[in-house]
Structure 1
């Protein structure tokens, strides 16, 4: 990091160190507040204001009030997250760091955990979120305590545990699109030191997208769906949780969870880029219709759609589906999780483990007329952590070991009913992959003075991955069946790598209401191999961060500034449809920004929340393959370009949120609470090419609600509207080129305006 780049961070840190003593001397002592939030981001219980991490916490009550029932919708209440979907794949970005891959074996850049169980696959991230106590969003690399694939941060879901008395809670919601959500739970005390909680949910809604075209139905074994809506949902599940305290100092938590999902995934809006009015013309020296010349080629030019906006004027809720209709997907996921914690006095020994199996079947239609079959994609994972936490002579320390194992299998391919009398497969894959990761970690907080503490930590991780990739050749006239005896090639693949990640920082706490911190931390995303069998290296992130957290009476004011040195980015490019996406380590990125968060409790009845995230995120060196429209060109060499200066995808330069809650106290009649929350996101791109069609303009999204509770608070009635503006932002945009077959631009969008009523009970 150059002197020019580090000076602003040092100046900001110096300013905070200067102002802190003044604040400590002038502010009133912190008042006790029952609304203080306790988190476990550092593997121990502590007030969120005492954690030297930029962290956003959302309580289960807030999630329920905002209608958060899946991972994608968490971004509505956490401005740090940007979450998008490509049909059934969920992609997460924090501070510009994320993954845009469809490679089934490539890892994510954000570590996602449910009660310590690690989730990694983009399809599994669609899992339903229900009966949640809180969500913790940790910004910045978390390589020491969270390990691999936490390059940009971590998201922790903590489920609700059995209580110490019998209780029942639940809610029923109904809204437009025939939206139904039923959820609830019950705590039952079995005996002293033993309790169980049973919780479940069901949700459904009609499709957000209407498709007026009539799906084509060929006279073959292939029978596409004739539904004229997509992005439907029909999901339900349950969880049984047990808490035991059989011995003094010993706590045992266990749970079994099962979720089943039936959906019609969102059919993508698409544009045929070879159609009249969209294609770049026939000139072998220039490009028209907003296309630009990417390179002169033998006999002609290669054009890219850099400046053409094919979305202009399109209705984002009503559009034609692919010619063969819409798909349907069925996912079943079962998880078993456990945690044992034994307080030995001088230290606490904790074991956390989880096992999950997930199976996907069905298929998804792709433009213009493809069907991606799935004859049973499966993911089986288990993870185990053994950790020892203690406090010795004022030193807060912890250390442990972690083991993760995953079995992944895919079985399906890209089928076209228009090739041959019974249809043909363009490609078909079986990619069984086994991944093992073992690590050891430790962290210590050493007091240097009464107010200054040094933090050091490290983690060593060994990653191993092996596979036997079977790629079937073009299968003419196969029909939409599971392939077993077609010509194929099988390649045994192996990857092995290790990485040491570390953390060093200083925490300054002049009083109980003030924390100022500075640190350097590292994170990485594991290496591996792509669909072509080509190995790629880990990507790494070194982060320099400083921040301050202030408790000013009943108010909270937090700051964070950061600079990332982000290297060896893993990026997917489709060069050959017969083998799928290929992954390359291509480039470096410069990311820095400033974050401000505040909670102002003006009166007992009025609360204002506000945040501002300002960020610069651009590639400083990024050579990437480019899909082009070739006019007269005869070169078969893939086109490459340096995208230096382009913005990272899913990364708005500014995100501003503002919320206001007011409680009308009605005496013996109870309370009426009005809530408003609005989020402004600056413009951003959905691809790293920064094409005009992949650019989402700056927009606001506003949610409103009005909730009544009687004096005993045993039930509540809420009316709500979400996305008041009704605007559907881009959730996916991509230009797909299959040489000789298709040149298509695809799009997907966030949900429209929804509204309804919710009845809740709590006994």
Structure 2
């Protein structure tokens, strides 16, 4: 679909009727705003939920300029989200999955209206028309259909309202950024309502590449743009709410999204070049390389102390020799939820289907092109839940089924080997994943102030794969290979795990909650691109916290300790083999989180948070590909990474925000907002190489929003990332034995600014 088509649909939708958003906030009689969430599968004030949780309303997402999943971390300091070309990586409290592996799950469960999203290529496409986002920290297996070791992020979309209404907005900013959204609610009598919503977003590339674009043959579908990291995404959703009988509520939605992007071309450095190579001595390593192992007739070196990024411009740099790539994604989803209140209990079914396809390709340094002839993913998830209250005991239980079919079809191609170019490798990885589970939780009052909580879960996971490897294909051209592969490896994984949770909640008064709990998390094992099996990972989490309402102010604390075993860590040691997954024996993770909201006056609000985090490996034997001097190519070696920090784990994150409302009499109000986040240093790889290190930085946002007295529209001027600093989002050292030794980098967006017009009737 074209930009004109998307904008036409949005304008047509906006003209249909007046959107009364289903907000995550309600206003009690005393005037205080309470935040209502469904984190425990029932509606309750977030201050009464014994979970470390961040909740962001749809209006707050709009005000902070959150238009995709990556930018959610601006308003949730516990989240650390980065992108590797078109893959989105999510980490919470040091726990995350940095992998594209077809046979690996995410450590953080991502759900949209109960539909589980498992692929990193899908996370940054379908986040629009959101009522609220709930970010839960720690294992959540006894509450949710899909188990998670590190937490859950729940996106709750806006549902049809109770009156005919319309809302929308359009934003324009630098980099020719356009973001338009619109939604319409239509009430169809007493039993039905429909919501139609759509969006379109685009911006020019954040990265400029001065080297001359490669002139490819017509068969090589690279872009001729000298910019990368652009976006062109649009989609729509139709939602239906039915109340056909007393106590019965049915929600259904159909969603379609298309995305065409030029993925961020990674900055790269040739580690064999003059500036960075370790020299020619067979007994010592130079230029910041560290001697790792002596070999017969030579030495192996690792790039521990080389900081390739020193002095580099993170917005202007050479792309790979053959230019920049282009990918196209199409995703269609169907979701449904039916809840029947039977009086003594509520029976709820939640289901989702998703079909997605990615085509195109990415260019990789120094002169490779990774083709994709249809990265197909088909998923379905189903949950049946019964919850209620019996004799003061709140209880819930459910069954969950997840099915994912996918296939990787493409390879690493170079146009400079053979007359028509050759594939260094070519893979087909058809994979089928199935997961079955039963779970439940009870809350038993021990007194009017003390409640005991207990939960249990059993999960059974099955995976099957037929990994086909064409190996080197000389003179193939950049086409889909359909001949018989060089080899086919049949792979299978089967495993199950019992997990549990236990805790105590103490509520001495209506404004105080003190809780403590122990919970266990589990993520299934599988097999990597090399066909090697890896074990499941487990987490035993100890957590305690307090939630306090002090007049108009809120102050929350949470402390935690994770005993993490068999962490699944991923690295691309050799592109001819594919990504490999290694289990770390053990990791130690602990920290403290504090967040507060201070309402100094009806017009002045301060929000702040402090997250302290320690996350290190205590036992991790990993493979590494060194630079060999005098020995020639050889198999990777192993090393113990005990004491190294986990990737994407800043040692602290400090946030501070201030909002002030200026009253302009009959002209309306003007709200000035300032927000800053100070993020401590972190690494982007588990080796903790100097070139993968991001030092401590700040990122600040400013905005001014005008609302007239009628409040039917608002105008906002904003600037995000005032410092214009592009923090490191990806770093990796890749070795193709005997061919290349490359360091690749990718960066977060630069400063953006613009204006937004919003309307609501």
What band does the TM-score fall into relative to the shorter chain? over 0.9
Structure 1 segment 121-160 matched on structure 2, within 5 A: 121-146=119-144, 148-160=146-158
CA contact (8 A) 1:624 1:641 kept: yes
Q: Verify: 1:286 aligned to 2:284, yes or no.
A: yes
CA contact (8 A) 1:285 1:301 kept: yes
Structure 1 segment 472-511 matched on structure 2, within 5 A: 472-511=470-509
Aligned to 2:576, what secondary structure does the other structure show?
coil
CA contact (8 A) 1:147 1:459 kept: no
Distance (Å, rounded) in 2 between the aligned partners of 1:77 and 1:32: 27
CA contact (8 A) 2:145 2:399 kept: no
| Correspondence for 2:331 | 333
CA contact (8 A) 1:149 1:526 kept: no
- The 1:223/1:380 distance shift into structure 2, 3 A limit, reads closer
Aligned partner of 1:382 among 377, 380, 383: 380
Structure 1 segment 7-406 matched on structure 2, within 5 A: 32-146=30-144, 148-218=146-216, 221-222=219-220, 224-406=222-404
- The 1:191/1:223 distance shift into structure 2, 3 A limit, reads closer
Structure 1 segment 731-742 matched on structure 2, within 5 A: 731-742=729-740
Structure 1 segment 504-523 matched on structure 2, within 5 A: 504-523=502-521
| Correspondence for 1:15 | none
Specify every segment of 5 or more residues in structure 1 that has no aligned partner in the other structure, as ranges. 1-29
1:259 CA drift (Å): 0.5
CA contact (8 A) 1:217 1:224 kept: no
Distance (Å, rounded) in 1 between the aligned partners of 2:147 and 2:229: 29
- The 1:570/1:551 distance shift into structure 2, 3 A limit, reads same
| Correspondence for 1:691 | 689
1:220 CA drift (Å): 7.3
CA distances 1:652-711 after superposition (whole Å, capped 9, x unpaired): 111000000000011111000001111000010001111111000100000100000011
Distance (Å, rounded) in 2 between the aligned partners of 1:441 and 1:648: 30
CA contact (8 A) 1:423 1:479 kept: yes
- The 1:148/1:389 distance shift into structure 2, 3 A limit, reads closer
Distance (Å, rounded) in 2 between the aligned partners of 1:144 and 1:642: 35
1:573 CA drift (Å): 3.4
CA contact (8 A) 1:151 1:541 kept: yes
CA contact (8 A) 1:559 1:595 kept: yes
Q: Give the number of equivalent residue pairs.
A: 734
Distance (Å, rounded) in 1 between the aligned partners of 2:217 and 2:668: 64
CA distances 1:412-470 after superposition (whole Å, capped 9, x unpaired): 00001011111000111111111111111110000001100000001101101111111
Distance (Å, rounded) in 1 between the aligned partners of 2:272 and 2:120: 31
1:325 CA drift (Å): 0.3
CA contact (8 A) 2:568 2:584 kept: yes
Distance (Å, rounded) in 2 between the aligned partners of 1:623 and 1:737: 19
Distance (Å, rounded) in 2 between the aligned partners of 1:635 and 1:702: 47
CA distances 1:294-333 after superposition (whole Å, capped 9, x unpaired): 1111211111110010100100000000000000000001
- The 1:369/1:326 distance shift into structure 2, 3 A limit, reads same
CA contact (8 A) 2:221 2:361 kept: no
Distance (Å, rounded) in 2 between the aligned partners of 1:464 and 1:87: 29
CA distances 1:595-625 after superposition (whole Å, capped 9, x unpaired): 0000001100000000000111111011111
Distance (Å, rounded) in 1 between the aligned partners of 2:574 and 2:669: 62
CA distances 1:80-135 after superposition (whole Å, capped 9, x unpaired): 00001110111100000011223233211100000000001111112231110000
Distance (Å, rounded) in 2 between the aligned partners of 1:158 and 1:89: 22
Distance (Å, rounded) in 2 between the aligned partners of 1:635 and 1:384: 49
Give the stretch that moved more between structures: 209-218 or 507-516: 209-218
Q: Verify: 1:439 aligned to 2:437, yes or no.
A: yes
| Correspondence for 1:663 | 661
| Correspondence for 1:524 | 522
Distance (Å, rounded) in 2 between the aligned partners of 1:426 and 1:461: 39
| Correspondence for 1:555 | 553
Give the stretch that moved more between structures: 32-41 or 726-735: 32-41
Structure 1 segment 575-594 matched on structure 2, within 5 A: 575-594=573-592
- The 1:202/1:280 distance shift into structure 2, 3 A limit, reads same
Distance (Å, rounded) in 2 between the aligned partners of 1:308 and 1:404: 44
CA contact (8 A) 1:221 1:422 kept: no
| Correspondence for 1:599 | 597
Distance (Å, rounded) in 2 between the aligned partners of 1:385 and 1:103: 25
1:149 CA drift (Å): 5.0
Give the stretch that moved more between structures: 146-155 or 409-418: 146-155
CA contact (8 A) 1:383 1:404 kept: yes
Which segments of structure 1 move beyond 4 Å, counting only runs of 4 or more? none
Distance (Å, rounded) in 1 between the aligned partners of 2:680 and 2:618: 21
1:59 CA drift (Å): 0.5
Aligned partner of 1:420 among 397, 418, 421: 418
Distance (Å, rounded) in 2 between the aligned partners of 1:278 and 1:462: 48
Distance (Å, rounded) in 1 between the aligned partners of 2:632 and 2:273: 21
CA distances 1:38-71 after superposition (whole Å, capped 9, x unpaired): 1011111111000000000000001111121111
| Correspondence for 2:4 | none
Distance (Å, rounded) in 2 between the aligned partners of 1:711 and 1:698: 43
Q: Verify: 1:679 aligned to 2:694, yes or no.
A: no
Distance (Å, rounded) in 2 between the aligned partners of 1:343 and 1:250: 6
CA contact (8 A) 1:175 1:754 kept: yes
CA distances 1:700-753 after superposition (whole Å, capped 9, x unpaired): 000100000011100000000000000000000000011011100000000000
CA contact (8 A) 1:269 1:319 kept: yes
Aligned to 1:64, what secondary structure does the other structure show?
helix
1:488 CA drift (Å): 2.0
CA distances 1:162-187 after superposition (whole Å, capped 9, x unpaired): 00001110001000000001001011
Aligned to 1:63, what secondary structure does the other structure show?
helix
1:535 CA drift (Å): 1.5
CA contact (8 A) 1:327 1:363 kept: yes
* TM norm structure 2: 0.95
Aligned partner of 2:449 among 445, 448, 451: 451
1:219 CA drift (Å): 5.2
CA contact (8 A) 1:142 1:151 kept: yes
Distance (Å, rounded) in 2 between the aligned partners of 1:235 and 1:219: 27
CA contact (8 A) 2:625 2:635 kept: no
Aligned to 1:61, what secondary structure does the other structure show?
helix
Aligned to 2:73, what secondary structure does the other structure show?
helix
CA contact (8 A) 2:347 2:386 kept: yes
| Correspondence for 1:715 | 713
1:34 CA drift (Å): 4.3
CA contact (8 A) 1:298 1:635 kept: no
CA contact (8 A) 2:130 2:157 kept: yes
* TM norm structure 1: 0.95
Aligned to 1:569, what secondary structure does the other structure show?
strand
1:142 CA drift (Å): 1.2
CA contact (8 A) 1:342 1:349 kept: yes
| Correspondence for 2:8 | none
Q: Verify: 1:704 aligned to 2:702, yes or no.
A: yes
